Amino acid sequence: MKTPSELGLKIGYEFKDESLLAMAITHRSFSAVNNERIEFLGDSLLNMIIAEALYKRFPDMREGELSRVRALLVSGKTLAELATEFDLGAFLRLGAGEKNTGGHRRNSTLADAVEALIGGIYIESGFDVCRERVLAWFDSRLVTLNPDSSHKDAKTRLQEFLQARKLPLPDYQLINTEGADHQQTFVVSCAVPLLKSAVSARGSSRRKAEQAAAEKVLLALKDSE
């Protein structure tokens, strides 16, 4: 059985009020006291925090582009990716029917729970702590944003590069997982037809390792041109 302390290690924040954490990870199928209201609060906080971060990071970016990039960063898909990095599905409290139909893997359920956690952190510790945690969670995504590449991540850019040349898509393989459960490092290789050997990279999640490997491949392809 997963414990609150285990989740605290993954998200970098340990709730003092376990009832608040319980609410944040409770789906409406489990109880009438669930995370819907607190998720509403977290959604608004997330949008504000990411908007502020983008405003400061990209002083020359126009309003429409800022809105587009923010929408990408706070999308259900991105939040579900974060939830997967936290192994959040294993902590969710779901009703029997929802659990049996794979609710712990459903993107919308995972995304809502991330927003609920944000709302919970804000309620318990205030805006400054909440902002610090959100920015820590999104750090790798904010750092890799590149205005010159239309804010597409490395995997997307590599895929489009290969597709434009009618070449097979990259082959990502998990080579190794190192470290303790709560502090793992993933080693991933990326092979493409234009390079003689696969490129490997490390990351704190498989997704981050794949992104790092794709970035290295793009640099290698650029150098070979």
* pLDDT tens digits, one per residue of 48-90: 999 999 999 999 888 888 888 898 899 888 999 999 999 999 9
pLDDT over 60 (residue 1): no
In the numeric block, the tokens 């285990």 are attached to 6
- Reading the block at residue 92, the tokens are 């969710």
- Reading the block at residue 163, the tokens are 């597709």
Angular region, 149: left φ>0, alpha ψ -120 to 50, beta rest: alpha
Is 39 annotated in a binding site? The answer is: yes
- Reading the block at residue 172, the tokens are 């990502």
Separation between Cα atoms, residue 98 and residue 28, nearest integer Å: 10
Of 43, 81, 98, 215, which residue is the catalytic one? 43
**4 within 8 A of 15, measured Cβ to Cβ:** yes
148 catalytic, yes or no?
no
pLDDT in the model for residue 49: 98
Is residue 27 very low, low, confident or very high in pLDDT (cuts 50, 70, 90)? very high
* Distant-in-sequence contacts of 33-37, Cβ < 8 A, 24+ apart: 35/112, 35/113, 35/116, 36/112
Is 112 annotated in a binding site? The answer is: yes
pLDDT > 90: what percent of the chain?
68
Is residue 149 very low, low, confident or very high in pLDDT (cuts 50, 70, 90)? low
Of 85, 98, 115, 153, which residue is the catalytic one? 115
**pLDDT tens digit string along 81-114?**
999 999 999 999 999 998 888 888 899 999 999 9
pTM of the predicted model as reported, rounded to 2 decimal places:
0.67
153 catalytic, yes or no?
no
pLDDT over 60 (residue 37): yes
In the numeric block, the tokens 């199928």 are attached to 29
pLDDT over 90 (residue 179): no
**pLDDT tens digit string along 198-211?**
999 998 889 899 99
- Reading the block at residue 141, the tokens are 């995504």
What is the chain's alpha carbon radius of gyration, rounded to the nearest angstrom? 19
- Is it true that 4-148 and 154-224 share their CATH fold? no
pLDDT in the model for residue 44: 97
pLDDT in the model for residue 144: 79
**Domain spans of the chain, in order of start:** 4-148, 154-224
Separation between Cα atoms, residue 44 and residue 74, nearest integer Å: 10
Is 225 annotated in a binding site? The answer is: no
Q: Enter the DSSP assignment of 26.
A: B
More confident residue, 71 or 46: 46
Mean of all residue pLDDT scores within the chain: 90
Separation between Cα atoms, residue 151 and residue 153, nearest integer Å: 6
Instruction: Select from 1.10.1520.10, 3.40.50.2000, 1.10.760.10, 3.30.460.10 the CATH code of 4-148.
Output: 1.10.1520.10
pLDDT in the model for residue 198: 95
What is the 3-state secondary structure of 82-128? HHHHCCHHHCCECCHHHHHCCHHHCHHHHHHHHHHHHHHHHHHHCHH
In the numeric block, the tokens 């990259």 are attached to 170
Phi/psi at 195 (5° precision)? -115, 140
* Reported CATH class of domain 154-224: alpha beta
pLDDT in the model for residue 105: 87
Average pLDDT on 135-140 reads 94
Separation between Cα atoms, residue 117 and residue 92, nearest integer Å: 11
